[in-house]
Copies of this chain bind each other. A is one copy, B any other.
Amino acid sequence: MDAISLKAGSLSRLLGQWRGADSADAAYRLLARALRLLILDGRVGLGVRLPGERELAEVLGVSRTTLTAAYGQLRDEGYLLSRRGSGSVTHLPGGRAAAGEIADIGEGDSFIDWTAAALPAPAGLWQAYEEALRRLPAWLSGIGYEALGLPELREAIAHDYARRGCPTRPEQIIVTSGAQNGLTLALRALTGPGDRVAVDHPTYHNALGAILRNSCQPVPISLPETGWDLEAMEAIFRQTGPRLAYLLPDFHNPTGRLMDAASRQALVAIAARTRTPLLIDETMAGTGFGSPMPAPVAAHDPEGHLVLSLGSVAKRHWGGLRVGWIRASEQRIAELGRLRAILDMATPVLEQLAVTVLFERESGMGDRPAMLRARCEKLIALLGEALPHWRVPMPEGGLALWAELPHPEASALAAMAQTLGLRVAPGPRFAADGGFERFLRLPFTLPEPDLARAVERLAQAEARLHRRPFRDSESPLRLIEAERVI
């Protein structure tokens, strides 16, 4: 594929205050350092063509000489490759790390597994199953295969969209066996081998895995400090012509950010202008801290011709309840129903009845938002004490923090933590092509005593790492690679 070009304006926004407070250092070295961090963090993807020197110098307000020197240093260090006729393209010294596959958790030991952003079942779930069991006999005389889902559940999901500001007919809904199953189904329907799929960067690692295993190529769109850079997104859509864009506007995993209403509208307009179907993952929609939610992205494309919405009850109720859905046009839903037969036939009837009950009962999220906010604040406080030099912004929702380390050493830190009985997901797990080495995803879903112990071990790991830099020969990195992250 041709390199994606990053516009000078977008890069400038990503760079932010690159000069920092102490400008004792030469400008070119400061600029090179800031660019290097963007590449290491994955905020500028690999294989991306940086703007021309003259153009960028102008936007940044520095001399052409400064820029030439900065690019030159990055080239010497292996962070930029010069290609004849295609300018300077980003690169990692020593090659690129592949987006890892995610393995299962080893059996019980004294480890703290801090990789799962998932909660135990809430009160009332058992009762929902009990009520579902009462309704089951009506279905036992049938053969049990409902490719599109039980009519009453499709109705309930459609009603929930309407309640959230997005009028929906039941015919626009297919029930899936969770959101990951829905993602697989949508990828099967919309993409073929070799197709490009645009993704937020960082993004949900199991989505990256599904895209890669579907023989597609992820096209990363870097997230800026806050929100989304829609200008860059449109440029990348135009440059790469992805078959599909997979985006997480509802408490983005792993950063926890929420796309505002105006951006949602603008996003759908971009999709329409560039004819790029959007697969909007709303799995995290139910994990807010109580602030009002903007309407679903599909509200700006109510017929669902361009916007496919992917939902699930795993995060707002329980992961052991494997029910999700896709909302799209009726025609698309019928197509997905046909494909369904060769993927997994249907979703279990009793599970669907239980989720129907949960939708009927739902009158808001109860005390869940307050509980999530409290746990989140608690973890931030614990980290502020034990690791005050880390930057841990308060997310707008979700189940995890996206912690920023002062040094690009997340993988080494995770490996060291493993030797201290702590599993944690380093930033590169959320990267299409390496990077994010200055980030860790830290779920706040563990019980508070476990959170305290986990933070303690993490601080210990950092101290050891800095006392005695981690050497590959003693590294349990393969173990880390074999971990499962939820």
Q: Give the interface of A toward B (CB within 8 A).
A: 101-105, 116, 118-121, 125-126, 129-130, 133, 136-137, 139-148, 177-178, 180-181, 184, 188, 192-193, 206, 209-210, 213, 215, 314, 318-322, 334, 337-351, 354, 445, 482, 484, 486
Contacts and interface: CB of A to CB of B under 8 A. Distances in A.
A139 B102 contact: no
Contacts of A104: 147-148, 334, 337-338, 340-341
Q: Within the oligomer, what is the number of copies of this chain?
A: 2
Given A140-B318, A143-B486, A144-B314, 13 more contacts: A101-B341, A104-B148, A118-B145, A133-B133, A145-B319, A145-B486, A180-B344, A181-B344, A192-B215, A320-B349, A322-B345, A322-B346, A348-B351
Contact of A177 (B120, B137, B344): B344
Given A145-B486, A337-B104, A345-B322, A140 B121 contact: yes
A184 B129 contact: no
A66 B347 CA distance: 57
Contact of A116 (B136, B145, B347, B486): B145
B102 A320 contact: no
B193 A320 contact: no
Given A121-B140, A137-B126, A184 B345 contact: no
Nearest to A145: B319
Nearest to A340: B104
A343 B184 contact: yes
A233 B64 CA distance: 70
Nearest to A185: B344
Nearest to A317: B144
A129 to B, nearest CB: 6
A181 B215 CA distance: 19
A215 B342 CA distance: 13
B484 A147 contact: yes
A101 B321 contact: no
Contact of A136 (B129, B136, B143): B129
Nearest to A349: B320
The 9 closest A-B pairs by CB, nearest first: A144-B320, A209-B342, A320-B349, A121-B140, A144-B319, A118-B143, A181-B344, A103-B338, A210-B342
Contacts of A180: 341-345
Contact of A102 (B126, B215, B314, B341): B341
15 contacts: A101-B341, A104-B147, A104-B337, A118-B145, A125-B140, A144-B319, A146-B320, A177-B177, A177-B348, A181-B344, A184-B343, A321-B349, A321-B350, A322-B345, A348-B348
A322 B141 contact: no
A213 B339 contact: yes
B143 A120 contact: yes
A348 B334 contact: no
Given A143-B319, A321-B144, A344 B184 contact: yes
A25 B192 CA distance: 52
A343 B185 CA distance: 9
A133 B320 CA distance: 13
Contacts of A139: 121, 320
A376 to B, nearest CB: 18
A178 B318 CA distance: 21
Contacts of A342: 101-102, 180, 184, 206, 209-210, 213
Nearest to A179: B345
